[in-house]
A = this chain, B = another copy of it.
Amino acid sequence: MAPLRSARLKTPPPPAPDFRDRILTGHCVAQMEALPAKSVDVVFADPPYNLQLAGDLHRPDQSRVDAVDDAWDQFESFQAYDAFTRAWLLAARRVLKPNGTIWVIGSYHNIFRVGAILQDIGYWILNDIVWRKSNPMPNFRGRRFQNAHETLIWASRDQDAKGYTFNYDSLKAANDDVQMRSDWLFPICTGGERLKDDGGQKLHPTQKPEALLARLLLASTKPGDVVLDPFFGTGTTGAVARRLGRHFVGIERDAAYVEAAEKRIAAVEPLAGESLEIVAGKRAEPRIPFATLLEAGLIEPGTQLTDAGRRHVAHVRADGTVSVAGEAASIHRVGARVQGLSACNGWTFWHVEAEGELKPIDELRRLVRERMALRHVGG
C-alpha cells in the first residue's frame, strides 16, 4: 500500500524537522497548533488548578503557608477557566494519534470541570486514578477532611478507539500478580528530587513526583513513544520519559522553568534497553517476601492472621511461614488450602487485627515498599 501512495507524489515530502525531545517556549495552545496532527502517543497535562484562596493561612505554630498564588493559576471565573480548558484540550486532541491517550491531573478545584469538558469534546474516559499522598499537608484549621489525594483522568481520543496502549501484563506482574488498581500511593515530591533555586527555595510550586510519571508512562506507552506535556514546568515528564526510553515534547511559557528543565533532563541517564524490559516487567516494584515484614518488625511471630470474614485463623512463624492445624507453608499456599482452592493471594487474603480493625497484610507490605523507595532516593 505504501508504494502506491508514494507514487502519487511527484516529489518525496521534505523530512519534517524532528520536534521530539525538545522544549517549546510559548503558550500551550499556540505551540500545540504548530505541531503536526496525529503525531504524539500520549499527552500528560498538569494544568493550573484554579485554586481560589481567600487570605493567608497559618499553621498552628503561626508560620505562614507558602500558597500557590502564582498569576498563572488565577482565572476570573469558572467560565474563563472552562474556556481555557476547552481550548488546550481541543488542541491536544488534534495532536494525538487516533489511538493516543491523555492524562490530566487535578484536584477538586478543577478536575470536575476538566472531566466534563473532556467528555463534551469527544474524549472517552478510561479510568480515573487517585494519587494517594503518603505525606499530604494537614488541614490546619480542622474544618475539613485532610485533602490527601489528587485525581488523574485517563482518556482515549475517541470512544471507539480500542487500540490504545495499556501494558496490562507488565503492570500486573509488577503488582505481585494482581491487577493494578485505580488508587496509587506515592509520597509528594520533596527532598533531593525537588528542584531548588540558588537560595534553596523550591523552584516550582507544584513539582510532581517522578514515581507518579513513571507509573503512568509505563502503563500507557511503549519504548520509543512520544509524550507531549503542554504544561512542562521544570520537566518531570521529560526527565522520566528520557529515563524510560520514551520521547518527550514539552511546552512551557516560563523561561526560567525551561532552562531548569533542560539542565535536569540532560543529566538523566537513559536506562539501557534490557533494563527497560525489566522495568516494564516484573521488577517495576520489588517483590517483598513475607519474612521481610517480620524483619522490619511490622509483624511479630505468633501473630494471628485471619481472613476478612474471620472464618480462618493462621499463626505467623518466625521463619516467615504461617501455619494452620500444625501445617505450615507460605501465606499463599495456606490461604489456598483453607479455602479449598488451588491458588490464593495471601497478601490480600490474610489480615491482622490492629486497633480493633482487620487490615490486610498487604498494607504492611506497602509500608515496606515505601520505606525502600525512600531509602533508594535518599541513597
Contact = CB atoms under 8 A, between A and B. Distances in A.
Interface of A: 58, 62, 74-75, 78, 107-109, 111-116, 118-120, 122, 125-130, 132, 134-136, 138-139, 142-149, 151, 153-154, 159, 162, 166, 168-169, 171-172, 176, 179-183, 187, 191, 219, 281, 308-309, 339, 341-344, 355, 360
Contacts of A108: 115, 125, 127-128, 153
Number of identical monomers bound together in the oligomeric complex? 2
Nearest to A108: B128
Given A78-B120, A176-B355, A126 B144 contact: yes
A191 B180 CA distance: 25
Nearest to A176: B355
Nearest to A339: B62
Nearest to A119: B78
A69 B353 CA distance: 45
A7 to B, nearest CB: 38
B134 A151 contact: no
Contacts of A136: 181
A148 B187 contact: no
A148 B183 contact: yes
A142 B179 contact: yes
A183 B183 contact: yes
A134 B348 CA distance: 9
B182 A148 contact: yes
A125 B49 CA distance: 14
Contacts of A128: 107-108, 111, 151
Given A112-B111, A343-B62, A166 B183 contact: no
Contacts of A168: 142-143
A166 B149 CA distance: 20
A341 B125 CA distance: 46
A112 B122 CA distance: 15
A343 to B, nearest CB: 6
Given A148-B182, A176-B355, A179-B142, A116 B113 contact: yes
B180 A145 contact: yes
